[in-house]
Structure formats: structure tokens, C-alpha cells
């Protein structure tokens, strides 16, 4: 967050230097559809489309693929790196036969519980009256330092909890459940609501991002149509147990602790039609037999949902290891090619994935810098902390 606005990697890392750094060229409206790899398995460029017109970019040093957990494996497969049978079916010549591409997809899975606040007199509750709406909007926009009702962050405190499963597996210091408190702001009249997101951060259910070879063979280019995403959420029965444990704990916190009791909360049990016949608050109603496929997949009782997004790891210990460990995130079997994005993380982190992805990117930059340092011109002046301008 900066000044009450959510940052993206573009605004945080690129926007400020885009027009001043001669070695940086950002081409917008481009979609890469193939990494070009020569007969010696050296990546030498990319083929991309800009406004629908095919173009080629050659590299002098290396290519870093960073198109995210769905598109990165797809791009590798379109370029001939993936399971040979699938590639052949899709009419793609195999450069590296690698069955690990797109495998080992991890995700965070969870539910959102809703509680109505029946004591609106509490002063801490965010509320803006209809008549003050414009005035508050002005307070947000009229200053570079955003403030007022609209500058507040909905998400409140978070708890990280070690489940019984983690404890049983000797991981008593490694939380695997996250509970996020979110106070939904209220505009005008209406019911104030608290949401609790209960999320399993280290799921054992593991899925994959597949490739629709037949569609590719028939000329389909759109990733959204080529990707076959199967995150297999809650197919591991112990994930369901962990989630139920988290749901029960969340309800207990809301109903049995003094500060929340003062809010006079009521738990909005509003299960989908499919689950209405189940005894309220039973384990089954909390998501019991999801793993048997008796419920509507990951959207069963209480609206099971995907929390933070997909995540693929190419490192699959039992099978093939695509990315080499000694040279970070280099693609095995192809020179001058790396994958650096969330898909290169070995496991889902215990919280949102974005910060970990940025750290991975920074670490890679450091490694690249070290590798090429002799060829690089060092920056003219590296500002020391005491030389930096004091922040306002």
C-alpha cells in the first residue's frame, strides 16, 4: 500500500524508472506465444504479438519467463518444454521432454464466514453516513496523503494457527491455518458485517495445470482456452479436517470472547441448497465429505473458495526436476532460460503469495547481478542510507 492505494509490481518497481533508465524498454500490449530455442537448446529470443502483429525479439543474455502460474507452464509447453506425449498431440516439436511442467500445483483453500453486528453503537465500527459520503470521498482524493473513511483498509488483524494435523506431524512451530478478520465498511444504513476468512495455507491437495493439446493442434492460441486447471482442492481428506478445525475455532473466537460478544454478533449460516438438510454446525455441514466428491467440488457447503491464486512448482522430487537448483530458476535442458514468478516457489507460503514472489524476484536479480557483474557497469553512485532524503 502506498498513500492509501494498493501497489502493483509495476507501480512499485518500474513506473518510477521507466522513462529515465536507458537499459529498460517496456513494450505494452504484447503477448509472448513462444520462446525461441535453437538446435543446441539455447534460448535465443521470443515470438510475440503486438496488436495482433507477430514480432520477434532476440536476446543477448537470457530470457526470464515471468507470466505467472498458469501462463508460464503453458508458454513452456508451447515452446516445446513439457511432457512429450502431450506436446506431440498438440503438434509441438519436443525440445525437452519434461513431465514435471505444470505439475505440483498448490493452492490456498478456504471459506468465508459471515457475522452480523447487532450493536451498531460501537464507535470503532467503520461507518459513513449517506450525507457525509461526498465529503469523505473528497478527503480521500483531495490530498496526496489519503485519509478518511475510504483510505481505511478493510482487512484487519490476522491469526496464524498450528492445526492438529501440523502438530501431529511434528510441525508445532509452523502454522498452517490463517484467519483473516475483515470488517466490511458500511455506507449509509444497513447491516454491518464481519467476515472471517479461514484459509489453509499448506494444503496437501495438489493439482496441475494441463494443456489442451487437441485445441492447440486445431490452432487455438488463447491461454484461457488452452489451460486445463485442476487444483484438486480438498481432495486430500486431511485438508478438510484442518479446515473444519479452523472454522470451529473462528466461530468460537467470535462467539465466546468478550470483545466480540460486545458487538452482539450473530453467525450467518447460509449454506447452499445442497447442504441445507445437514445439521447446522456439524462437521459435515462445515465441509465434511468434500473429498468424496459428494458435494459440488470446491464450491460446496459454505461456499468453499479459492483464496489466493494458483501456484505451480516445477520441482517435483519424485519425478522430474525441471528447474536446476545450483543456478536458481534456470530451466533444465535449455540454456539462457529462467522461470521467475510464483510458479518457481517450492511451496505456498503461509500467507499471501505476492510478497514471497517479489522476494524471489529480488533474489534472482541479485544472482544475475553476481553472475554478470564483471560485464556490468556499476551504478555511478550507490546512495548510502544517511544520504537519502528524509521521507515526509
Among 31, 62, 269, 371, interactor with ligand FAD by CB under 6 A: 31
- In 10 A of CB 27, how many CB atoms? 9
75 makes contact with ligand FAD (CB under 6 A): yes
Of 262 and 355, nearer to ligand FAD (C-beta) is: 355
* Minimum distance, C-beta of residue 101 to ligand FAD, in the bound complex (Å): 15
Coil, helix or strand at residue 96: strand
Among 150, 260, 267, 354, interactor with ligand FAD by CB under 6 A: 354
67 makes contact with ligand FAD (CB under 6 A): yes
Q: Distance (Å, rounded) from C-alpha 346 to C-alpha 56?
A: 32
Nearest to 322 by CA among 108, 42, 107, 104: 104
Q: Distance (Å, rounded) from C-alpha 103 to C-alpha 87?
A: 15
User: Applying CB under 6 A, which part among 28-36, 292-300, 323-331, 366-374 lies near ligand FAD?
Assistant: 28-36
Of 62 and 241, nearer to ligand FAD (C-beta) is: 62
Residue 1, Cα to own-chain centre: how many angstroms? 17
- Cell numbers for 376: 556490468
Of 49 and 139, nearer to ligand FAD (C-beta) is: 49
User: Applying CB under 6 A, which part among 65-73, 166-174, 195-203, 384-392 lies near ligand FAD?
Assistant: 65-73
Inter-residue contact 161 to 175 (CB < 8 Å): yes
353 makes contact with ligand FAD (CB under 6 A): yes
Among 66, 86, 235, 348, interactor with ligand FAD by CB under 6 A: 66
Among 329, 341, 348, 364, interactor with ligand FAD by CB under 6 A: 341
* Minimum distance, C-beta of residue 208 to ligand FAD, in the bound complex (Å): 17
Q: Distance (Å, rounded) from C-alpha 68 to C-alpha 150?
A: 31
Inter-residue contact 207 to 232 (CB < 8 Å): yes
- In 10 A of CB 56, how many CB atoms? 11
323 makes contact with ligand FAD (CB under 6 A): no
* Minimum distance, C-beta of residue 374 to ligand FAD, in the bound complex (Å): 29
Nearest to 110 by CA among 264, 3, 234, 227: 234
Among 308, 322, 331, 337, interactor with ligand FAD by CB under 6 A: 308
Among 251, 342, 348, 364, interactor with ligand FAD by CB under 6 A: 342
Q: Which residues on adjacent β-strands are paired with residue 209? A: 229
305 makes contact with ligand FAD (CB under 6 A): no
User: Applying CB under 6 A, which part among 100-108, 128-136, 261-269, 350-358 lies near ligand FAD?
Assistant: 350-358
* Minimum distance, C-beta of residue 201 to ligand FAD, in the bound complex (Å): 11
Secondary structure element (H or E) that encloses residue 133, with its range: helix 133-141
Inter-residue contact 34 to 47 (CB < 8 Å): yes
User: Applying CB under 6 A, which part among 24-32, 190-198, 250-258, 375-383 lies near ligand FAD?
Assistant: 24-32
35 makes contact with ligand FAD (CB under 6 A): no
Count of residues making up the chain? 392
User: Applying CB under 6 A, which part among 104-112, 180-188, 240-248, 348-356 lies near ligand FAD?
Assistant: 348-356
Of 33 and 269, nearer to ligand FAD (C-beta) is: 33
Please give the full DSSP string across 209-221, using - where no structure is assigned: EEE-HHHHHTT--
Q: What angle do CA 180, 186, 187 make, to 5 degrees?
A: 150
Inter-residue contact 72 to 331 (CB < 8 Å): no
* Contacts with ligand FAD, residue ranges (CB under 6 A): 30-32, 66-68, 71, 75, 308-309, 341-342, 352-355, 357
Amino acid at each position: 500500500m502506498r498513500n492509501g492505494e494498493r501497489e502493483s509490481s509495476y507501480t512499485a518497481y518500474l513506473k518510477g524508472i521507466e522513462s529515465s533508465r536507458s537499459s529498460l524498454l517496456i513494450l505494452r500490449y504484447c503477448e509472448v506465444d513462444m520462446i525461441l530455442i535453437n538446435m543446441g537448446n539455447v534460448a535465443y529470443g521470443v515470438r510475440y504479438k503486438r496488436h495482433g502483429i507477430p514480432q520477434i525479439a532476440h536476446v543477448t543474455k537470457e530470457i526470464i519467463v515471468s507470466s505467472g502460474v498458469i501462463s508460464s507452464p503453458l508458454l513452456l509447453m508451447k515452446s516445446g518444454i513439457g511432457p512429450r506425449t502431450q506436446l506431440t498431440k498438440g503438434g509441438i516439436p519436443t525440445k525437452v521432454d519434461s513431465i514435471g511442467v505444470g505439475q505440483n500445483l498448490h493452492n490456498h483453500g478456504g471459506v468465508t464466514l459471515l457475522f452480523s453486528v447487532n450493536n451498531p453503537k460501537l464507535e470503532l465500527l467503520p461507518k459513513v453516513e449517506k450525507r457525509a459520503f461526498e465529503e469523505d470521498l473528497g478527503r480521500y482524493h483531495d490530498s496526496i496523503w489519503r485519509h478518511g473513511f475510504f483510505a481505511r483498509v478493510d482487512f484487519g488483524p490476522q491469526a496464524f494457527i498450528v492445526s492438529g494435523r501440523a502438530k501431529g506431524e511434528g510441525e508445532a512451530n509452523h502454522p498452517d491455518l490463517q484467519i483473516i478478520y475483515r470488517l466490511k465498511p458500511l455506507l449509509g444504513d444497513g447491516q454491518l458485517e464481519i467476515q472471517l476468512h479461514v484459509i489453509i495455507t499448506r494444503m496437501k491437495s495438489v493439482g496441475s495445470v494441463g494443456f489442451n493439446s487437441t485445441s492447440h493442434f486445431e490452432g487455438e492460441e488463447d491461454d484461457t482456452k488452452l489451460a486445463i486447471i485442476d487444483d484438486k482442492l480438498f481432495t486430500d481428506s486431511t485438508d478438510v479436517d484442518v479446515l473444519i478445525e479452523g472454522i470451529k475455532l473462528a466461530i468460537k473466537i467470535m462467539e465466546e470472547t468478550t470483545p466480540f460478544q460486545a458487538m452482539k454478533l450473530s453467525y450467518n449460516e447460509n449454506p447452499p441448497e445442497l447442504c441445507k438438510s445437514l445439521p447446522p454446525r456439524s462437521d459435515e455441514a462445515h465441509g465434511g465429505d468434500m473429498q468424496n466428491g459428494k458435494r459440488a467440488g470446491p464450491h460446496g457447503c459454505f461456499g468453499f473458495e479459492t483464496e489466493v491464486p494458483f501456484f505451480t512448482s516445477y520441482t517435483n522430487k519424485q519425478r522430474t526436476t525441471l528447474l536446476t537448483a545450483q543456478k536458481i530458476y534456470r530451466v533444465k535442458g535449455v540454456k539462457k532460460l529462467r522461470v521467475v514468478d510464483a510458479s518457481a516457489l517450492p511451496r505456498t507460503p503461509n500467507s499471501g503469495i505476492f510478497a514471497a514472489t517479489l522476494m524471489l524476484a529480488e533474489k534472482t536479480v541479485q544472482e544475475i547481478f553476481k553472475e554478470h557483474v564483471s560485464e556490468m557497469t556499476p551504478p555511478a553512485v550507490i546512495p548510502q542510507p544517511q544520504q537519502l532524503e528524509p521521507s515526509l
